[in-house]
Chains A and B, each alone.
Chain A
């Protein structure tokens, strides 16, 4: 029932309910305990990532050569890796990679997705048909394999991981934005904007895209955990973050060679990864329920 109400609010009232909807959404989000806990956790992660050099007990690349592959102890809380580097410190530094993938790669994906979706939806007809096929071509391939092929072209490295994940992650958003714009472009205010001499570009950027903002927020929050997982996977395969940089995926890749001597080594980066992905997943669910842009099944 609540869903239908928000639906008609979004569709029926258009711009009028625009500001009140966001305050409503915030109120609903604040009531959602799970989402608030996840939001707090994400805030802590951001804090840890920003201040990693001050919080981490050791530097990212400090090698305690006398203590390699140590089990957790009071000196090295989560043990050490094969070079004697402190696992806790490296996990903390790894937060930086994971969160920046979420921000940078998702920004690239949003930029492409919104642009492509808006153009397809606004112009319709032949333009839409061509763009829809292009979206289908990019969506027809498993994202992780597509990212691997892009990494093959670009070569390994952090920046290239961001680009690769951004390049594979835009199709879902493009589809959603396209269908939203098709609905929105029939609104009176678009007609009014056109009548007063607004160019197509201005109508798309000033009137249509801002009205899709809640959709963009929801889709982006739900894609961030995927992006984090893709980065970890690529780094795990040795295509992403290169040593001595620390990424949870790269740590797991190194750790799996030492499961006989130090099984704890491969446990902790995985926990960091699963908890982070879970927090973003649940926060995304909460935001979706709060903003509810009828994309539950997309």
Chain B
């Protein structure tokens, strides 16, 4: 396990350097002079040259990348061209909003997803199973932004229960959370059902039934406990997605989270912000993958043994 952990750590490091390099190269091959863009071409050439020098844009790209990497390690991602604020500060602000919404989405969808998925597996082939499967299949094909618009129409405009944009009050969190959670719930329910069915088909379930263990205990203790590892792993993957922010939902509801920060930066060609967002999201994803892999080994002895061999 120690050797495996070290190898995975090294791989993670390589991937992080690779991701930052790829993003750096990509945003820097874009035609157009950022300084000219920032000053809206009104400044005279001398001022532009001075600003370029201050921002370090006159140096070779390799030097620029190393400076960026060095500063990024200290949490300094430079200054936004337009907001004129430190990118790190903007990221932190976006992260707060995104993590509140993401956290609620994960709580909601884990609870309902596991409940519905396990119920469907227990009621295999019965109408309840079919209804749950029908809706989760539909949910997985639904575009989140369309669900969001429909929720805005029904609960925002027709019923007027919840506000349809911004985050001024607590109840304005409901629709964004719901529109993401419906899709997450659908996929968690499907996965829970599959794994629960696998677990319920095992011999030890028949043994438990044969020795007279109550049906509830068979399902929960012998079934769900053995189906839990892949479900937990999957929820880990969902957490990673939720922390990456949802560009689409944040756009629909005008929420200033990480996703909106990134898409706004793309629209205004605000390179430091784009860079900061991509590096942040890459770090979240790569580190989350590492944690999920290691936890998987800890939780499931079978995986651990296979990896050590």
Q: Do A and B assemble together?
A: yes
Interface stretch, picked from A48-56, A133-141, A173-181, is A133-141
Q: Does B141 contact A (CB under 8 A)?
A: yes
Least Cβ–Cβ distance between A270 and chain B, in angstroms: 4
Q: Are B141 and A274 touching (Cβ within 8 A)?
A: yes
Q: Does A158 contact B (CB under 8 A)?
A: no
Q: Is A277 an interface residue (CB 8 A)?
A: yes
B140 touches A270 (CB 8 A): no
* A interface secondary structure, majority: helix
Within residues 51 to 82 of chain B, which ones have a CB less than 8 A from any CB in chain A?
none
Is the pair B30, A153 in contact by a Cβ cutoff of 8 Å? yes
A-facing residues in B148-171 (Cβ within 8 Å)? 149-150, 152-153, 157
Q: Give the complex CA separation of A148 and B27 in angstroms.
A: 11
Task: Give the complex CA separation of A141 and B247 in angstroms.
Answer: 14
Closest to A271 in B: B146
Structural contact, A237 and B251, CB atoms closer than 8 A: yes
**A142:B149 contact, CB within 8 angstroms:** no
B240, closest chain A residue (CB): A142
- Tell whether, in the assembled complex, residue B248 and residue A237 are in contact, meaning their CB atoms are under 8 Å apart: yes
Q: How many residues of A contact B (CB 8 A)?
A: 39
- Residues on A with C-beta less than 8 A from B152 are 256, 259
Q: How far is the CB of B34 from chain A (nearest CB, A)?
A: 13
Are A237 and B247 also in contact (CB < 8 A) when A141-B282, A148-B263, A263-B157 are?
yes
CA distance in complex: A273, B138 (Å): 12
Q: A153-B30, A270-B149, A270-B150 are in contact. Are A134 and B18 (CB under 8 A)?
A: yes
Contact flag A281-B15 (CB < 8 Å), given A145-B278, A148-B263: no
Query: How many residue pairs at the A-B interface have CB separations less than 8 Å?
Result: 115
Beta-carbon contact of A150 and B26 below 8 Å: yes
Say yes or no for B43: interface residue by CB 8 A criterion.
Answer: no
Name the interface residues of B111-151: CB closer than 8 Å to any CB of A. 137-138, 140-143, 145-146, 149-150
The answer for the CA separation of A1 and B281 in the assembled complex, in Å, is: 42
Contact between chains at B262 and A148 (CB < 8 Å): yes
> Is B252 on the interface with A (CB-CB < 8 A)?
yes
23 A–B pairs (Cβ distance < 8 Å), ordered by A: A133-B15, A136-B18, A137-B22, A140-B19, A140-B282, A140-B286, A141-B19, A141-B278, A142-B281, A144-B248, A149-B23, A149-B274, A233-B248, A236-B251, A237-B248, A237-B251, A252-B149, A259-B153, A259-B157, A266-B153, A270-B150, A273-B146, A282-B137
Chain B residues engaging chain A, CB cutoff 8 angstroms: 11, 14-15, 18-19, 22-23, 26-27, 29-30, 137-138, 140-143, 145-146, 149-150, 152-153, 157, 241, 244, 247-248, 251-252, 262-263, 266-267, 269, 274, 277-278, 281-282, 285-286, 289
